[in-house]
């Protein structure tokens, strides 16, 4: 049996180790200054070859920030405590699966961002990332569509609908659904990293 002083010392050491690891929950925004109540999210620069990708991503990013109710999004940097800016640096869609005659049947699409969060009043850099990314896969033929994945289940489609589509229609619908998932996932990852400092 462990003596009480030794047990107390072990418990104290364990608590210090746990608190020192820095693990926190993103919704609480522990990396954000307690006095910060508002945020301005500037339009990210689009360095990809996909026209309008930045505008599309901004919708997901603003929705993610708003959903946590920690910060209020404002329309002007002069009204903000914090300013988030960044750029989409890369968008790639590469074949990840092939049929017997080496035609692509699945693609992996990746979006990469750089971003900076600054305290507008002190001009202090609170958080940054130089290459955060999210990748999602999508099928280009009906035979490769897995109808039990979260991406498929969020669509307004059934397996019978996919079976009646041409390969081009399948690829377009699955790419669109994959892109939605990718942008939403990247926005969630960004908020969590920004709020926790990881």
Pair of tokens at residue 154: 């969020």
Q: By CB neighbour count within 10 A (0-12 exposed, 13-18 middle, 19+ buried), where does 84 fall?
A: buried
pLDDT tens profile 19-34: 334 333 434 457 899 9
β strands within 51-155, DSSP E: 72-73, 82-98, 104-119, 125-139
Q: Is the pTM for the entire model greater than 0.85?
A: no
pLDDT tens profile 175-195: 788 788 899 999 999 999 999
CA angle 165, 170, 174 (to 5 degrees): 145
Label residue 12 by pLDDT band (50, 70, 90).
very low
Q: Which of 45, 115, 132, 33 is nearest to 82 (CA)?
A: 33
- Average pLDDT of the residues in 132-150: 69
Q: Which domains does the chain have, with CATH numbers?
A: 24-196 (3.30.160.150)
Pair of tokens at residue 189: 């990852």
Pair of tokens at residue 90: 């890369």
Q: Which of 92, 88, 58 is nearest to 75 (CA)?
A: 58
Label residue 16 by pLDDT band (50, 70, 90).
very low
């Amino acid at each position: 049996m462990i003596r009480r002083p030794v047990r107390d010392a072990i418990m104290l050491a364990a608590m210090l180790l746990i608190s020192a690891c820095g693990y926190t929950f993103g919704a609480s925004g522990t990396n954000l200054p307690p006095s910060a109540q508002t945020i301005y999210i500037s339009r990210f620069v689009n360095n990809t070859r996909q026209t309008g990708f930045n505008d599309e991503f901004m919708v997901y990013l603003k929705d993610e920030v708003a959903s946590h109710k920690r910060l209020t999004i404002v329309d002007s940097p002069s009204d903000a405590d914090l300013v988030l800016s960044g750029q989409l640096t890369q968008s790639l869609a590469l074949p990840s699966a092939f049929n017997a005659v080496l035609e692509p049947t699945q693609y992996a699409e990746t979006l990469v961002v750089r971003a900076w969060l600054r305290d507008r009043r002190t001009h202090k850099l609170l958080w940054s990332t130089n290459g955060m990314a999210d990748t999602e896969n999508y099928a280009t033929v009906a035979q490769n569509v897995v109808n039990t994945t979260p991406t498929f289940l969020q669509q307004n489609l059934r397996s019978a609908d996919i079976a009646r589509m041409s390969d081009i229609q399948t690829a377009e619908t699955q790419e669109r659904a994959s892109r939605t998932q990718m942008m939403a996932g990247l926005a969630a990852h960004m908020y969590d990293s920004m709020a926790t400092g990881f």
